[in-house]
Amino acid sequence: MTWPVIADIITSVCVLTGALLSLIAAVGLLRFPDLLTRMHAGTKPQVLGLLLILVGVGVQFGGPDHIGMLFAVAMFQLLTAPISAHMVGRAAYLYRHVHEEYLVIDELMPVMGDGAE
């Protein structure tokens, strides 16, 4: 097998897996009961799905400039996803958008006290 054929196979597998992860995340986003579980589902295309698709694209193009740009995309995604997840989760907890009966353990409540902002 020559390199273009191998590259095509790698790209096909990575891209298809990434798209399926996006679909799984969408189904989870639609079906899960509360905000924290939906956030858990939403991280799949944000990190793993996107990284797989970027690997597929990078294998196809090659070249340091394109790889560098795709690497920048992956780095920014990995840097910014935790920030927004932290802010959304914090706001959800503070404004009581979390179903308490789904929580196995809640270590934040005794620290904050009730009604804290």
111/13 Cα distance (integer angstroms): 47
Restricting to residues 30-49, which ones interact with other proteins according to CB under 8 A? Answer: 30, 34-35, 38-39, 42, 45-46, 49
Integer CA distances (angstroms), 95 to 12, 35, 64, in order: 43, 12, 46
Q: CA-to-CA distance for 59 and 71, rounded, in angstroms?
A: 12
Query: Which residues contact other proteins (rule: CB under 8 A)?
Result: 8, 11-12, 15-16, 18-20, 22-23, 25-27, 29-30, 34-35, 38-39, 42, 45-46, 49-50, 53-54, 56-57, 60-61, 66, 69-70, 72-73, 76-77, 80-81, 83-84, 87-88, 90-92, 95-99
